[in-house]
Homo-oligomer: A and B are copies of this chain.
Amino acid sequence: MIMDLSPFFVHLVSYFKLALTVLNFSYIITKSMNFKNLQNSLKKELELVANEIRASLDSPIEFIRQVASYLIESGGKRFRPLVLILSARAFGYQGDRVYKIASALEFIHTATLLHDDVVDYAELRRGKPSANVLWGNEATVLVGDFLLARSFLALVKEKDLDILNCVSNATTKMAEGEILQLLKTEEPETTEEDYLEIVRCKTAVLISAAAEVGAIIGNATPDIREKMRNFGMLIGTAFQIADDTLDYITSDETLGKIQGQDFYDGKVTMPFIYTYKSSTDRERNQLSRLLLKKNKKREDFEKVYKILETHDAFKHSFRIAHNYVTEAKNCISFLDEKLRKPLEIIADYTIERTF
């Protein structure tokens, strides 16, 4: 019996190429450690944010606490709170208003995750059954609404119209981004412009608001506020582009995350758009047909993956994300090195994480 080893070699070559891509874009463990160290050094502060979160879930309805804390306390990276705290500290603010506001931002973020899961029919979130699977779409929608309303109430109690304006602007944009994304689902002709608009709205604006609010409570000038707003927008954009690219090339069985989830959901992201634009008519037809296919199979994904890889789409996407990070770092060059460094680690993290 002669075994056909060619599929094995095809995979081997494919993984080797992936390893090269990853190395090329500095997925170096030591660098990732910087973010872990930063998280650790702010452990006490993040604990205070967690306390605020628990306090804000003080609804008389036990069920709300149960659903919301299931998600909020289940291993999020607290990215938005970190951006807010470091931004505020960069402007000399040492008080504890940041914890309340950080908790409100985390609520808004969690509300969108809950509603996203309903929209995407998600079955898993961070490796655990998603809220809609455990409690149904109805409860998931309503607890999301509660978190959104509760976050505004918390922000109103801070009595700062600048902060309220900044965050409610962001929340409106976020809803627009989610709707735009829904409209562009299974739309192979989605332009890079549309995609970037979705990315900015659904992800970057809240991170941008976190950075700007830090500047607001640190009493920064309007000029500096704008710089911080841009910094947040740029790292948020990098974050999402990297996320969308990693979706194509990584899986994590422990987190229940499968490779190519976005493709199966019909979401059109940077690697696809880049390839579609620069590919032959034949490839374009194939990409379009596979994206529009109902009940996509693993082999459909592999075909798309192969075309994208041939076009160096992942490398290209990481490069774009990397450019955003560089641009973001330029925005904060005015800060002293000691205050700038943690924000730079955050910026680097957006394209260095492997999940």
Most buried by B among A61, A64, A142, A146: A142
Chain B min CB distance to A219 (Å): 19
User: Is B118 touching A178 in the complex (CB atoms < 8 A)?
Assistant: no
Return the CB mask of A167-205 against B: 1 if under 8 Å, else 0: 011011011101110110000000000000000000000
With contact pairs A64-B176, A156-B161, A164-B164 given, residues A118 and B146 touching in the complex (Cβ less than 8 Å): no
Return the CB mask of A145-166 against B: 1 if under 8 Å, else 0: 1101110110011010100110
A38 within 8 Å of B (CB atoms): no
Assembly CA distance A153 to B166 (angstroms)? 9
Chain B min CB distance to A257 (Å): 21
CB neighbours of A164 from chain B (8 A): 152, 156, 164
Assembly CA distance A339 to B180 (angstroms)? 46
Chain B min CB distance to A113 (Å): 12
The majority secondary structure among interface residues of chain A is helix
Chain A residues near B (Cβ < 8 Å): 59-61, 63-64, 111-112, 115, 118-119, 137-139, 141-146, 148-150, 152-153, 156-157, 159, 161, 164-165, 168-169, 171-172, 174-176, 178-180, 182-183
Assembly CA distance A179 to B148 (angstroms)? 14
Assembly CA distance A180 to B145 (angstroms)? 13
Assembly CA distance A261 to B178 (angstroms)? 32
* Chain B residue with the shortest CB-CB distance to A162: B156
Assembly CA distance A122 to B62 (angstroms)? 27
User: Is B165 touching A156 in the complex (CB atoms < 8 A)?
Assistant: yes
Assembly CA distance A169 to B169 (angstroms)? 19
Assembly CA distance A247 to B254 (angstroms)? 49
Give 3 nearest A-B pairs by CB, closest first: A146-B175, A149-B171, A119-B138
CB neighbours of A174 from chain B (8 A): 145, 149
CB neighbours of A176 from chain B (8 A): 59-61, 64, 146
With contact pairs A61-B176, A152-B168, A176-B61 given, residues A119 and B145 touching in the complex (Cβ less than 8 Å): no
Q: Which of B59, B145, B161 is close to A148, meaning CB atoms less than 8 Å apart?
A: B145
CB neighbours of A61 from chain B (8 A): 176, 179-180, 183
Chain B min CB distance to A100 (Å): 14
Assembly CA distance A127 to B142 (angstroms)? 25
Q: Which of B119, B145, B156, B165 is close to A175, meaning CB atoms less than 8 Å apart?
A: B145
* Chain B residue with the shortest CB-CB distance to A147: B175
